[in-house]
Structure 1
């Protein structure tokens, strides 16, 4: 059994009581293949009498976490109530997508998602364009073309080199004055109870990145930190960071 298979099976054992599982996406990159099954997640949410957003929040974060995250993002981004173009990496269930579309009413909303079974749900949202996703780049998006490029609960699970590659792409596609936003597990997210909980549960799927290192990296690319906000994560938290392109 490969390490990737062992990790995926371990995650599925932990998720089984909740009625969800991870499956392979269509990327060939082993680092970004596991995803929640759309069919099983939607079925479990219906049985629980909950929306997809509320169901995911309940088991992986905290009730209302998605709505709070988007509210903070929009407040810090200060983009008004209409933009031309938004790009989201790893939109998945579309729970952040739908809220951002409702608030910003973009003319075009580009989505990069490697989990094919969620794509029909994403295509049904207003003005969404599904871009070809390779798990590394935003190659179909023009340079300096988007008002907002964001990702949620994505970089938490990716190797550092993949995350940094995506950050470079976010820098490339955002227009001057536009906003880059994402959440990561920073050193500020860690305390002794959290690390003990992750060690005892074998939570090997999370990766930590130095906050100051990320801020300095993006500052050298003319992105200024606007603000941050802690977001609940299973047995811990991530930090949403919002940057504006100078």
Structure 2
């Protein structure tokens, strides 16, 4: 009966151009993958990478090692957009031991998981995420503002809106780090590779390189480095920008 009511309600709101979706945009939830990781005596990240759950691939360690080699040795405050499973929190926090690590995540199930997993770390602050702003973070208060695998699926305008917020939250001489798919690295053969990809994902959103360059120029952001990393059927480009 409840299932039928949900179907009828969904059809009703569809008539007015609305769609019923769960909070957040995750492609798996902790209730299914966390128990499986525990069964095999693995950390969640180890399990996700070993079994390629959701097609995550083995890319996390490569990314963080690149960041560690480029970013300053000492960072006292970090903000992460889309913390999700905590894959990057798991590496960034112990490496830098910041005084605060701010988390913005729209998937409430993952927020609850992170709160339980890191309950002894009082430096981690969990904020209510609206999917477009960092409204609970003070201006120029964060040394490293970062996101991983977020701008690859957000609408272009939403990504730029987030960039505005990352810029606002970042301290002078602080760093903004994100990855995205760019128009320069997406061709018709690339699209065909995605169409053949086993997980049948259709989420890629491209950001024109000229927009990133223009944004950096307008806001006096120095391109410290950029690198590419495998992402499903292609690769994403990481940008490391310094606020001057």
Q: Does 1:178 align with 2:174?
A: yes
Match of 1:121 among 106, 113, 117: 113
**SS class of match (1:165):** helix
Residue of 136, 141, 146 corresponding to 2:137: 141
Q: 2:61: which partner in 1?
A: 67
Q: Kindly provide the CA deviation profile for residues 184-219 of structure 1, in whole angstroms up to 9, marking residues without a partner as x.
A: 011343245422122345542111111232122122
Q: 1:119 to 1:35 in 2, by over 3 A?
A: same
Aligned counterpart in structure 2 of residue 165 of structure 1, from 161, 178, 182: 161
What is aligned with 1:104? 96
How many pairs are equivalent? Answer: 221
Aligned to 2:215: 217
Query: 2:34 aligns to what?
Result: 42
> TM-score scaled to structure 2, two decimals?
0.82
Shift in alpha-carbon separation, 1:163–1:96, aligned structure 2, 3 A: same
Alpha carbons 1:35, 1:115 under 8 Å: kept: no
Q: Distance in 2 between matches of 1:34 and 1:67?
A: 21
State the 1:146 CA deviation.
Answer: 0.4
Aligned with 2:228: secondary structure? strand
Distance (Å, rounded) in 1 between the aligned partners of 2:93 and 2:202: 33
Gaps of 5+ in 1: 7-22, 26-31
For residue 146 of structure 2, give the secondary structure of its aligned residue in structure 1. Answer: strand
Higher helix share: 1
* Distance change (3 Å), C-alpha of 1:50 and 1:230: farther
Q: Which has the larger radius of gyration?
A: 2
Deviation at 1:130, TM superposition (A): 0.1
Output the CA distance in 2 between the equivalents of 1:132 and 1:242.
Answer: 26
Whether 1:155 and 2:151 are equivalent positions in the alignment is yes
State the Cα deviation string for residues 146-198 of structure 1 (Å, max 9, x = none).
00000001111111111111000000000011000001011343245422122
Do the aligned partners of 1:122 and 1:128 also contact (CA within 8 Å) in 2? no
Cα–Cα, structure 1 residues 4 and 189, in superposed 2: closer, same or farther, change >3 Å?
farther
Q: Which residue number in structure 2 is paired with residue 208 of structure 1? A: 206
Could you report, residue by residue, the CA deviation over 1:105-127 in whole angstroms, capped at 9, with x for unpaired residues? 10000000111111133224332
1:132 aligned onto 2:128: yes
Unmatched 5+ stretches in structure 2:
1-10
State the SS of the aligned residue for 1:44. helix
The normalised TM-score by structure 1 is 0.81
* Residue 89 (1) aligns with residue 81 (2): yes
- Corresponding residue to 2:238 among 223, 237, 240: 240
Q: Is this contact kept in 2: 1:147–1:175, CA < 8 A? A: yes
